[in-house]
């Protein structure tokens, strides 16, 4: 089987992290985001993976070469000279996706979930339609485009309703699909939306179905959702009794801590914390609902809450970081500084308080 991952452009929503590292290689749960998806596709029997990007991917090639060997897959880049939307990349990768009659998976690179690709493939084969959308349930469907089903045929999609005023359903497109190769014939080589242009054709042909996603789902393409997705991901690991979660006297709730991290005994970690390789956590530090990326230091008696600490960064003593603060690569926060919702660009030193949301250049 085959799979296409819609990577897109420069990851501007996740800045300042993506100013130094391509979005697919930013670590989520101490692994590059793209690796979660490559592993899931490989485990479902996918052998050819296309990454659809609209920037030059040289910086990713070395890392992905290693994954090719590790998972026994072929990874190719489909580079757009102009952004082609969510359907155009399928047409651009036609030579791979149509090389045989087997269906192919499509997924958004920002989506984190439990990736039920095997079950999805079985469901798709059973109903005999041309396409299947993975659907997830939401509490506030009025914010989204909602899937409405045919009353006579289970799971057959009848129409989509954009941001409905009245309740018509609570299932939305989760950004994962499986499609038959002939669907590519419906797409022109130009900027095209699969949701607004291709799927309505399949609905009209009565050939598009939905598959209910069990478990968690999150688009982690921006910092606040990256943190929310981390909470959901760690909780999913707990439900599956995963040995990836850390335990200890100073750990509260769910936490994932790399074995190389050095954490003082008086520090308290958790709940909902991920700590990367070669991180140093000082005495009396409190960290909750945060991600600390590799080679960073949190000095004595600082509080880090709802924050992403970028690689190679240093937080001084008696600091307080909260409110979806994001530190880029190699940032220094000096002693006794308060940051609330600040986005600090790489290689900066912060010596004064940032009491409200701001970009520190």
User: What is the rounded CA–CA span in Å between residue 184 and residue 92?
Assistant: 10
Closest C-alpha to 38, from 86, 4, 80, 82: 4
| Range 37-66 average pLDDT | 85
Q: Is 163 a catalytic residue?
A: yes
DSSP at 182: G
Pick the range with the lowest mean pLDDT from 56-65, 177-186, 320-329: 56-65
User: What is the rounded CA–CA span in Å between residue 337 and residue 341?
Assistant: 13
State the pLDDT confidence band at 361, using cuts at 50, 70 and 90: low
Give strand pairing partners of 309: 292, 327
Instruction: Please determine, for residue 65, whether its predicted confidence score (pLDDT) is greater than 90.
Output: no
Q: Which of 83-97, 105-119, 329-343 has the highest mean pLDDT?
A: 329-343
pLDDT of residue 358: 67
State the pLDDT confidence band at 165, using cuts at 50, 70 and 90: confident
State the pLDDT confidence band at 260, using cuts at 50, 70 and 90: very high
pTM score, two decimals? 0.88
Instruction: Please determine, for residue 189, whether its predicted confidence score (pLDDT) is greater than 90.
Output: no
The DSSP H or E segment spanning 291 is strand 290-292
| Range 227-250 average pLDDT | 91
Phi/psi region, residue 59 (left: phi>0; alpha: psi -120 to 50; beta: rest), is alpha
Identified catalytic residue from 118, 143, 163, 190:
163
Domains of the chain in sequence order: 2-219 (3.90.550.10), 223-359 (2.160.10.10)
Q: Which of 81-95, 166-180, 316-330, 344-358 has the highest mean pLDDT?
A: 316-330
pLDDT of residue 343: 93
pLDDT of residue 56: 62
Pick the range with the lowest mean pLDDT from 29-33, 117-121, 158-162, 326-330: 158-162
| Range 76-99 average pLDDT | 83
Instruction: Please determine, for residue 266, whether its predicted confidence score (pLDDT) is greater than 90.
Output: yes
| Range 334-353 average pLDDT | 94
77 vs 258, more confident: 258
What is the phi/psi pair of residue 242, to 5°? -75, 140
Instruction: Please determine, for residue 221, whether its predicted confidence score (pLDDT) is greater than 90.
Output: no
Q: Which of 4-8, 58-62, 93-97, 102-106 has the highest mean pLDDT?
A: 102-106
| Range 280-291 average pLDDT | 97
User: What is the rounded CA–CA span in Å between residue 256 and residue 174?
Assistant: 26
DSSP at 183: G
State the pLDDT confidence band at 254, using cuts at 50, 70 and 90: very high
pLDDT of residue 231: 96
pLDDT of residue 70: 86
8 A C-beta contact, residue 291 and residue 230: yes
* Cα within 13 Å of Cα(205), Cβ side: 15
């Amino acid at each position: 089987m085959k799979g296409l991952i819609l990577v897109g452009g420069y990851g501007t929503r996740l800045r300042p992290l993506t100013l130094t590292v391509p979005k697919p290689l930013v670590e989520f749960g101490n692994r590059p985001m793209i690796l979660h998806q490559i592993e899931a596709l490989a485990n479902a029997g996918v052998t050819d993976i296309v990454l659809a990007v609209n920037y030059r991917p040289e910086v990713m090639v070395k890392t992905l070469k290693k994954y090719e060997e590790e998972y026994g897959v072929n990874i190719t880049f489909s580079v757009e000279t102009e952004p082609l939307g969510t359907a155009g990349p399928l047409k651009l990768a036609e030579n791979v996706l149509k090389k045989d009659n087997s269906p192919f998976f499509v997924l958004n690179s920002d989506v984190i979930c439990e990736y039920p690709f095997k079950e999805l493939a079985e469901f798709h084969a059973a109903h005999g339609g041309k396409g299947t959308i993975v659907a997830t349930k939401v509490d506030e469907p009025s914010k989204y485009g909602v899937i409405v089903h045919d009353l006579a045929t289970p799971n057959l999609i009848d129409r989509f309703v954009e941001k409905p005023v009245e309740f018509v359903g609570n299932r939305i497109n989760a950004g994962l699909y499986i499609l038959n190769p002939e669907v590519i014939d419906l797409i022109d080589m130009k900027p095209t939306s699969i949701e607004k242009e291709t799927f309505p054709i399949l609905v009209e042909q009565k050939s598009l179905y939905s598959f209910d996603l069990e478990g968690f789902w999150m688009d982690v393409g921006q910092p606040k959702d990256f943190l929310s997705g981390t909470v959901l991901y760690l909780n999913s690991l707990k439900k599956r009794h995963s040995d990836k979660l850390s335990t200890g006297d100073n750990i509260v709730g769910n936490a994932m801590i790399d074995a190389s991290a050095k954490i003082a005994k008086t520090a308290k970690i958790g709940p909902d914390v991920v700590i990367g390789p070669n991180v140093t956590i000082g005495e009396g530090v409190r960290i909750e609902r945060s991600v600390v990326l590799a080679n960073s230091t949190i000095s004595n008696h600082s509080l880090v809450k709802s924050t992403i600490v970028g690689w190679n960064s240093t937080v001084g003593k008696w600091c307080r970081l909260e409110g979806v603060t994001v530190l880029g690569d190699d940032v220094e926060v000096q002693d006794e500084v308060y940051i609330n919702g600040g986005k600090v660009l790489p290689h900066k030193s912060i010596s004064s308080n940032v009491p409200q949301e701001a970009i520190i250049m």
